[in-house]
Structure 1
Amino acid sequence: MSSEKMENGDGVKNNTASLCGSNVKLRRELGLFSAINLILGVMIGSGIFVSPATALKHSGSVALCLIVWIVSGIISLLGALSFAELGTVVGKSGAEYAYFQAAFGKMHKFWGPLPSFICAWIYVVILRPAEVAIIVLTFAKYAIQPFTIHLQEDYKSMAIILGSLSALFLMTYINITSVKLFVKVQNLFGVCKVLACLIVIGGGLYEIQAGNTENLNKGFENSTTSLGGIAQALFSGLWAYDGWNSVTVVTEEIINPGTNVPLSIAVAVPLITGLYVFMNVAYMTVLTSAEMVSVPAVAVTFGERVLGPASFLIPLMVAIATFGCAMSVQFGVTRVCYSAARGGHMVEVFSYVNMKHMTPAPAVAFQAILTSIFIVVGRIDTLIDFASWLLWFFYGLAMVALLVLRKTQKDTPRPYRVPTVVPYCVLLISMFLTVFSVIDDPSMKYVTAILLILIGVGVYTIFVYHRKTPTTLLRKFTFLTQMLFQCVPPNTRDD
């Protein structure tokens, strides 16, 4: 899919060649605090406020559900620490994409690069844009709620779509304009998210102190004994924790990554685990299991019962959490797109960097276009139904990549090295989740996931392996994109 650096239609060479060796590249702008907030920004989204009860539904009991949330946090930490080693060894942005390239890329001419391409195909073209669309739709729903009470449903739906597109435009502007601006906004939102979680936890502690423990005392009553049910419950918990690898997606923009990548993970993931567990305790204290499963937004119902006049804070919390989460997910996936384009697996111009702002502006704009399509089309929740299955398939493959790199690049310096037992544990967990969830619920969503992978194989075969690309069209597209975004190929050397 890579386009060549050729003359434009008038026979005049563009400025690509002359600027390629300049100091135009992504800069290391994220320190430790910003890296921690990036993880917080991606992990704390709408899920813990709106629909945390799916794990309760599959686990069947209060006690087992809390265990699921604790175990999900531990699994996320183990996976994140494994990714920390991969990030410091490979040293490139893109997370799984970069790791698959390093581990498997040279093994076979056709099959070697295929895992990287499929990963980029799923993440960049389908999964992350759909995820951002759902998050910004949730943002718009809660942000405009006070202003649409008296509107008819049709007008309310249109207002939500317009609000979503407005939020998407704003976060795209931030991500194109400046990494420093993104960092400032994300740091502010990260602090607000933690405060929001603490408000919920504080409300729960107040209810427990007042003696409202009837729901918690049910313990393991009605717990599931099905391995498939436990796998589904873990998937629900792990989906809420997803984003623990976000700092490794932007390794090239982390200051001192050898130290700050593992340290940010070691701080952020346990912090979020504690917040999630105690928030669920708070919810379960106030709401019965039946209520948690049935209400449209758990935190809103919780706020109405506990916070009284201050219950308006909950929709505000959800709006802040969702906007910050969507902005961070977009920030991360544009770096995957950037890395894939640099590796020849996406259109080359998506790896170009804006000369003034030093951001991958074409990749950001591409993600915004895909997301806006998902927003307008709607009915995309089914795409997220199999998201965890695909994610944990790739996470398991990343553990294989880590073990392969320990054999093939044993002499490469490793600023951080995770104990060997950890990637093996994460790999086994990945296999358990992907196999038993299908056994428990052999539905069409897994067929759809496999179909998307097979479509990716077809696209890879035609456009990447056999290079059947519309060269003239790509030249014109590259030229127009360069003119529109004032971007050039990056200098990838670390000065």
Structure 2
Amino acid sequence: MTAIKEEKSDVGLKQNIGLLAAVNIIIGVMIGSGIFVSPTEALKYSGSIGLCLVVWAVCGIVSLLGALCFAELGTVVPKSGAEYAYLLETFGKLHKFWGPLPAFICNWVYVMVLRPAEVAILILICITYSIEPIRHNIGFDNLDEAYRQHFQKLLAIVVLFIVTYINLRSVKLFVRINNFCSFGKVIACIVVILGGVYELFNGNTKNLSSGFEGTTTNAGNIALAFYNGLWAYDGWVSVTLVTEEIKRPEINIPRSILISVPIITALYVFMNFSYLIVLTPNEMVTSPAVAVEFGKRVFGPFAFVIPLGVALATFGCALSIQFSVTRLCFVAGREGHFLAPMSYIHYEKLTPGPAVALQGLISLIFILMGDVHDLIEFASFLIWVFYGAAVICLLVLRKTRPDLPRPYKVPLVVPFLTLAVAVFLSVTPMFTQPPAKYLAALGFIISGLIFYVPFVYYKYRPKLMDKFTFLIQVLFEVIPSDKKES
């Protein structure tokens, strides 16, 4: 390995991601299974078709405002890692113990639970909908329930291996496959929209006649409608997780956001409009897979295109989420907030192999566990806590570091609006969901402190780490990145 290191004088993550690929990373993460499988909660809590469509449109605008805040942060702090990098840059040096702690907790939650659990769920959904068109032909429904679950888990492990291999192999391979998946899922969305337009021209307007009839006046229900809508839009932060690999990030990060988020907003609004043309509000709320039911009504024998679209969307989303979170893992390892070998780079492929493998392993554990939705639920409100903290970083940096170059700068009203939304979405679930979930989240944060105090604050390094590091280097053919952060 020493010889390898001497041959390579400039080893690190390379800028291989252009504007189109950056747009597709955002689309890849934002469009997952939700808009196809269960876009019903916003309708359920809004009480009417009219308000539901308004909610989806407003959620898109709010997401764009939040993404523009991250676009500024991505140009001011040109490091991969998104919220983690911004928290570390803003508060990391203010206090020896408390300063780096918010960044560490952010990394701990994302890397160890939230993102790999999301990957596991997406892959399991991918398998479910991949099987859907052929389940009768292969006699899947005749199998015992336990065998069906084992079969699905086995296929999910195969898909996870493929996802992990792509991210291990090269960034260029990821970009090509993610571009294909993103185009495919956008086409699937357009197919649904065109199906709705076809039904509309055929005079199927009965379901739309109710308009705003039944609109809720309960502030709590309206809040929950927006909460669920914004959850479906989550993922606009993804491009700032890979800032160091974006070509001309000061230009392409804002542009990719301004292109992708409005596209997804339009797709989401018109897809819901199409669903509501064909399905009654009651059918939408009770259907386990809205797009599949829609396909059966509109496309008849060609309805199989919908589950295939869901499978493609979930595969692409899992691929993009794993790609993004491995960069967070990489940056945290480089900063001493995670195992150092997680920041090592393959000497030829220039991919963070150990970080990718770790994410694959954690996702594998979650797949074997099966139902990990509760893990997502108890940690999901923390996402908006971190989004709000990142916006605070933007405001603090404007005050304390006005000299920093800002090639892109949002109007001051935008971060304040985004911060208000973040506070709202962080606090609302505390009054609507069981307290046990928040105790679980608190317990997981405390478990992070158990690692933070000895290994980050006191920098304790067990002697076994030298052997572990050597083993990682030999297995993955990786060496430390040449890039050092100040």
Same fold (TM over 0.5): yes
Normalising by the residue count of structure 2, what TM-score does the alignment of the two structures yield? 0.96
Contact persistence 1:20–1:491 (CA under 8 A): no
Normalising by the residue count of structure 1, what TM-score does the alignment of the two structures yield? 0.94
Per the alignment, residue 274 of structure 2 pairs with: 282
Contact persistence 2:109–2:379 (CA under 8 A): no
SS of residue matched to 1:488: strand
Q: What is the percentage of aligned positions where both structures have the same residue?
A: 55
Per the alignment, residue 36 of structure 2 pairs with: 49
Shift of 1:474: 1.3
State the Cα deviation string for residues 61-115 of structure 1 (Å, max 9, x = none).
Answer: 2111111111111111001010001011100000000000011101111110001
Separation of aligned partners in 2, 1:436 and 1:173: 39
Separation of aligned partners in 1, 2:391 and 2:482: 30
Q: Does 1:214 align with 2:214?
A: no
SS of residue matched to 1:92: coil
Q: Does 1:240 align with 2:227?
A: no
Per the alignment, residue 484 of structure 1 pairs with: 475
Per the alignment, residue 104 of structure 1 pairs with: 91
State the Cα deviation string for residues 253-306 of structure 1 (Å, max 9, x = none).
Answer: 000001000000000000000000000011111111221121111100000000
Structure 1's 16 and 55: CA in aligned 2 closer, same or farther, altered over 3 A? farther
Q: Give the number of aligned pairs.
A: 480
Gaps of 5+ in 2: none
SS of residue matched to 2:206: coil
Gaps of 5+ in 1: 1-13
**Given residue 228 of structure 1, which amino acid in structure 2 is its aligned partner?**
G
SS of residue matched to 1:138: helix
Q: Which moved more, 1:435-444 or 1:202-211?
A: 435-444
Contact persistence 1:20–1:490 (CA under 8 A): no
Q: Which moved more, 1:288-297 or 1:77-86?
A: 288-297
Q: Which moved more, 1:106-115 or 1:154-163?
A: 154-163
Shift of 1:443: 3.5
Select 1:75's aligned residue among 50, 62, 73: 62
Shift of 1:463: 2.3
Separation of aligned partners in 2, 1:153 and 1:240: 30
Shift of 1:18: 5.1
State the Cα deviation string for residues 385-439 of structure 1 (Å, max 9, x = none).
Answer: 2444111111000000111111222111111111111111100111122223322
**Structural mapping, 1:342-491, within 5 Å:** 342-469=334-461, 471-491=462-482
Separation of aligned partners in 1, 2:3 and 2:120: 34
- The two structures, once aligned, show a CA RMSD in angstroms of 1.7
Select 2:47's aligned residue among 60, 67, 77: 60
**Structural mapping, 1:155-304, within 5 Å:** 155-304=147-296
Separation of aligned partners in 2, 1:172 and 1:44: 20
Q: Does 1:24 align with 2:11?
A: yes
SS of residue matched to 1:218: coil
Contact persistence 1:124–1:337 (CA under 8 A): yes
**Given residue 477 of structure 2, which amino acid in structure 1 is its aligned partner?**
Q
SS of residue matched to 1:250: helix
**Given residue 108 of structure 2, which amino acid in structure 1 is its aligned partner?**
W
Contact persistence 1:227–1:436 (CA under 8 A): no
Separation of aligned partners in 2, 1:16 and 1:97: 34
Select 2:127's aligned residue among 133, 140, 155: 140
Separation of aligned partners in 2, 1:450 and 1:423: 27
State the Cα deviation string for residues 308-334 of structure 1 (Å, max 9, x = none).
Answer: 111010110011000000000000000
Per the alignment, residue 306 of structure 1 pairs with: 298
Contact persistence 1:19–1:489 (CA under 8 A): no
Contact persistence 1:197–1:275 (CA under 8 A): yes
Structure 1's 489 and 309: CA in aligned 2 closer, same or farther, altered over 3 A? same
Shift of 1:223: 2.4
State the Cα deviation string for residues 190-236 of structure 1 (Å, max 9, x = none).
Answer: 11111100000001111111221222222223323233322222221
